């Protein structure tokens, strides 16, 4: 699509404040509408399939109501290298954040972040999955307590805010896009938006 053609309005299908902050970095106008979907995994569903399916479902829920809009959905699934069928969600409380970080201490942890962009009217529907790997340090109980009290990562899958003090919990990290670790892969999303005619930058 040429960049001077009709550009559908953008809707971010999310309840996540960090996703809203991240999308704002791309300097495109957008609205935010929360999708109410069941995020439970299917029987024997792996992390990559789950992440892509939920990102698509979130966007589809909003796209059905606004077929003319370009809807963005995203989902992140976190799992430990040694236990691929146990998914780590958002802790929601300090106690569960503390518990999660005790489990993640010293482990190799995968953050699978999918992003879906769809527009019914323009017959667009594309999903990309960006993987990010974090090797957590061996964390003491006191370090975990101090961290949880400081960052209060209750709405972050895996109980970390990597852009904040969470980075001090890492031994190493590997991935092509740090914003994918934070919850919305902006390098890939920028490319997807350009391909449907949005000028980013
Ligand atoms: N601030 C921050 N948030 C993170 C980080 N890593 C993950 N998150 C957040 C992004 C998402 O809001 C959340 C991952 O959970 P979900 O993918 O289920 O999204 P959530 O339910 O929060 O929002 P949504 O499904 O989009 O309405 O964790 C991080 O390093 N920093």
Within 10 A of 191 (CB to CB), how many other CB atoms are there?
Answer: 12
Q: Give residue 1's pLDDT.
A: 44
Q: In this model, does residue 38 exceed pLDDT 70?
A: yes
Q: Which residue is it, tokens 């370009």?
A: 70
What is this model's ipTM? 0.98
Instruction: Quick: pLDDT tens for 70-84.
Output: 999 999 999 999 998
Three-state SS for 92? coil
Residue 46: pLDDT over 50: yes
The CA 65 to ligand 1 mean position distance, Å, reads 24
Q: Which protein residue has the closest C-alpha to ligand 1 atom 23?
A: 16
Take residue 178 and report the two structure tokens written for it: 């740090």
**What structural domains and CATH numbers belong to the chain?**
10-196 (3.90.950.10)
Q: Is pLDDT at 155 greater than 70 in this prediction?
A: yes
Q: Is 160 in the pocket of ligand 1 (CB under 6 A)?
A: yes
How far does the centroid of ligand 1 lie from the alpha carbon of residue 157, in Å? 6
Residue nearest to atom 2 of ligand 1 (CA): 161
The mean per-residue pLDDT over the stretch 110-133 comes to: 97
Secondary structure, 3-state, 7-56: CCCEEEECCCHHHHHHHHCCCCCEEEECCCCCCCCCCCCCHHHHHHHHHH
Residue 47: pLDDT above 90?
A: yes
């Amino acid at each position: 699509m040429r960049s001077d053609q009709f550009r559908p309005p953008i809707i971010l299908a999310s309840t996540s404040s960090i996703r809203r902050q991240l999308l704002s970095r791309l300097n495109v106008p957008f609205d935010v509408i929360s999708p109410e979907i069941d995020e439970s995994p299917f029987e024997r569903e792996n992390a990559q399939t789950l992440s892509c399916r939920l990102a698509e479902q979130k966007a589809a829920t909003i796209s059905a109501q606004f077929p003319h809009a370009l809807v963005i959905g995203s989902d992140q699934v976190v799992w430990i290298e040694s236990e691929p069928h146990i998914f780590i969600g958002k802790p929601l409380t300090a106690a569960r954040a503390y518990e999660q970080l005790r489990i993640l201490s010293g482990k190799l942890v995968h953050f699978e972040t999918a992003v879906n962009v769809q527009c019914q009217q323009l017959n667009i529907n594309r999903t990309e999955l960006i993987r990010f790997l974090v090797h957590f340090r061996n964390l003491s109980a006191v370090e975990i307590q101090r961290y949880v009290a400081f960052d209060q990562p209750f709405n972050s899958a895996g109980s970390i805010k990597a852009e904040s003090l969470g980075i001090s919990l890492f031994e190493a990290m590997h991935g092509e896009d740090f914003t994918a670790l934070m919850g919305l892969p902006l390098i890939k999303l920028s490319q997807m938006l350009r391909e449907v005619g949005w000028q980013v930058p």
